[in-house]
Structure 1
Amino acid sequence: MLRRVATRRTAGVRLPIAVLAMTVLATLSGCGLLGGDDTTRSSGSTGSTGGVEKAKVKVGVLPVVDVAPFYRAIEQGYFKEQGLDVEPVVMASGAASIAAVLSGDVDIAFSSYPAPLLAQSKKIAEFKIVADALTAKPGHIVVVAPPNSPLKKPTDAPGKKIAITARNTMTDLAPMSVLKTQGVDYTQVEWREMSFAEMIPAMDRGEVDGAVVVEPWVTTAMKKLGAVPVFDGASGPTAEMPMSGYVAIGGSGKFATTSPNTVAAFQRALAKAQAEATDRTKVEPMFVKYAKIDQETAQLVTIATYSTSLEANRIQRVANLMSEFGVIKGNLDVSTMIPSSTSNK
């Protein structure tokens, strides 16, 4: 039976992830981050060299379309087939999810890639990418504007107020990359930080000229506001850009290092569900049930690509994008973040 999902809220979720994570580390220093691993051994996993080291696994997730296959894997019993008892813990934000995996409240955290990559570059912890989640397709991340907005095309962007979730995320990095490629001065855009839920009312009131939204908010903005696309955030240099994944903490005594069979079992179960995600009938019910999208909207949502393999060179594109815009200082080698037990296919 699917476990009841707990909702957790973390104070200060609007803080940049680096500041948040450093605060978490400072608060918990000396208290044994991710310590006290009460592992439960099981021989129930299949297709591995041994039983899983930890059968009970908590996974921090967000109520977004990216995690639809994760919930399908739970409902279809794919994790149980691998000897895992997976409990989803719904987080208030990506920052809260990262804080939870750092503190040990969860074993694995779902997140948009910029947050763990930035934290890794600052050596906050040894992050390991357990699984790739979603890769953007045209229509998944879009700069939209209300019909009466002066923002009609990319060249209109300088001087305009455009809503994003936070700086140094895919919501500003992707459009900046597209604008830069088109020779538009992205430094003159006035980025306004707010949640996706706040963006549609803000556009309606004229407080912003446009917004960078991802599905299902792209479809919702078009339905509720008659919003029109200005340009696609997954185009040109950001076409088929990896957007999100599942991460854990590695290092001495940490989950990603002490539980390689558990990680491999999680990967197999999730990959099975993500391979089925090309069938809309199998993911739309997850949109409605867990991302809280109405049935009509779920039928219109652009379904991006759910990855079935974990490839460092693909995710490296995100790190390179962050480095290009000065979010990461120097170069970050993503291959060091892939668990050694992972087989890239």
Structure 2
Amino acid sequence: MLRSVTTRRSFLGRLPLAALALTVLATASGCGLLGGDDEGSGSGQGAGGVEKAKIKVGVLPVVDVAPFYLAIEQGYFKEQGLDVEAVVMASGQTSINGVLNGDLDIAFTAYPAPLLAQSKQLAEFKIVADALSAKPGHMVVVAPPNSSFRKPSDAPGKRIAITARRSFTDLAPMSVLKTLDVETSTINWVELPFPEMIPAMERGEVDGAVLVEPWVTTAMKQLGATPVFDAASGPTAEIPMSGYVAVGGAGKFATTSPNTLAAFQRGLAKAQAEATDRAKIEPMFVKYAKIDPQTAQLVTISTYSTSLEANRIQRVANLMEDFGVIKGHLDVSTMIQKSGR
């Protein structure tokens, strides 16, 4: 949230995946992916040295990237020989486009977008680092006070706000409801930006909303919203939500710069290991996510991973396959960026 909260429509890249796939296809078919001779690229600093010292990383204004900024402020990337420039993107789509067209070296994104693109063979995405996995309280289906939407079995026929179809905001709650034998086909999913969901509930235009932090906390403070059920529970408990990706293939950054990516991994992991300390991470929420200090103290801090495990991220691909977003089977292990020196 380096920008105003109105950018939340694109938070975590929760945009229509079909539209994103078309955008990725158009971008991939244009002028070379990650082509060009950027300053410092391919310079090769000997065994173990980074191939590109100055890199650009596209990020969104979300709580997921708080450790990334901590790594910059604490000099953890510089310790690894990297000069990392944070580029705040307007949406998940522009972040993905940036890494495809070479404006960015690494892009932060919600997992569904690159997984879908990979399944369609629109680009060779490499997952460089895991960002955030949802703890209880991070992604919650809420309802306004005095609503008849009080429990999961009330969901059929209700108007529930989400950011986009076939995103975490509808797939995760549908997965939870499926395990509870609750019919989801009659739910009226209403696409709205996060900032508009609270007013929509207040006006009675929707019966509930699927929110992520800090909007969960904000809805409870501003509206007195009550949780109906946790969308990251049961089959989706601790589900990986987001990560950092690069593009691989002949001549592409993820292929030509393994040591650079390994250095990025080490710097980020050091910061993510410290993200359990609220004293360190809350200032990042306030400074870069523009969350007010009072709300920042209440926001649920989810899991910031210090390792990159294919079997964990495979859960996202499996979720997408279960609901027909991905056709066939996607083996996430082929997307994991191998560490350099």
TM over 0.5: yes
The answer to whether the 8 A contact 2:56-2:86 is kept is yes
Match of 1:86 in 2: 84
5+ long unaligned stretches in structure 2: none
- Secondary structure of 1:277's counterpart equals coil
Deviations 1:142-199 (A, max 9, x none): 0001012221110111111111111111111110000000000112111111111111
Could you tell me how far apart the structure 2 residues matched to 1:331 and 1:28 are? 22
Question: Residue 22 of structure 1 aligns to which amino acid in structure 2?
Answer: L
Superposition misfits of 4+ residues, deviation over 2 angstroms: 12-30, 41-45, 340-343
Q: 1:49 to 1:208 in 2, by over 3 A?
A: farther
TM-score (norm 1): 0.92
Match of 1:132 in 2: 130
5+ long unaligned stretches in structure 1: none
Match of 1:177 in 2: 175
Q: 1:311 to 1:281 in 2, by over 3 A?
A: same
Match of 1:19 in 2: 19
How far 1:27 sits from its partner (Å)?
Answer: 5.3
Match of 2:238 in 1: 240
Could you tell me how far apart the structure 2 residues matched to 1:264 and 1:212 are? 35
The answer to whether the 8 A contact 2:66-2:284 is kept is yes
Could you tell me how far apart the structure 2 residues matched to 1:277 and 1:44 are? 32
- Secondary structure of 1:251's counterpart equals coil
Match of 1:332 in 2: 330
Match of 1:158 in 2: 156
More moved, 32-41 vs 324-333: 32-41
Question: Residue 255 of structure 2 aligns to which amino acid in structure 1?
Answer: T
The answer to whether the 8 A contact 1:18-1:119 is kept is no
Q: 1:342 to 1:40 in 2, by over 3 A?
A: closer
Q: 1:28 to 1:124 in 2, by over 3 A?
A: closer
Question: Residue 98 of structure 2 aligns to which amino acid in structure 1?
Answer: A
Aligned-residue RMSD, C-alpha: 2.3
How far 1:49 sits from its partner (Å)?
Answer: 4.6
Question: Residue 184 of structure 1 aligns to which amino acid in structure 2?
Answer: V
Q: 1:330 to 1:159 in 2, by over 3 A?
A: same
Deviations 1:177-233 (A, max 9, x none): 000000001121111111111111111111111100011110000001000000001
- Is 1:31 matched with 2:28? no
Match of 2:303 in 1: 305
Corresponding pairs, count: 334
Match of 1:53 in 2: 51
- Secondary structure of 2:274's counterpart equals helix
How far 1:50 sits from its partner (Å)?
Answer: 1.6
Question: Residue 108 of structure 1 aligns to which amino acid in structure 2?
Answer: I
Could you tell me how far apart the structure 2 residues matched to 1:6 and 1:81 are? 28
Deviations 1:47-79 (A, max 9, x none): x95211111111111111100000000000111
The answer to whether the 8 A contact 2:131-2:241 is kept is yes
Could you tell me how far apart the structure 1 residues matched to 2:214 and 2:265 are? 25
Within 5 Å, give how 1:1-345 maps onto structure 2.
16-26=16-26, 29-40=29-40, 49-341=47-339
Could you tell me how far apart the structure 2 residues matched to 1:30 and 1:243 are? 29
Could you tell me how far apart the structure 2 residues matched to 1:221 and 1:96 are? 28
Question: Residue 87 of structure 1 aligns to which amino acid in structure 2?
Answer: E
Question: Residue 238 of structure 1 aligns to which amino acid in structure 2?
Answer: T
Q: 1:166 to 1:6 in 2, by over 3 A?
A: closer
The answer to whether the 8 A contact 1:132-1:307 is kept is yes
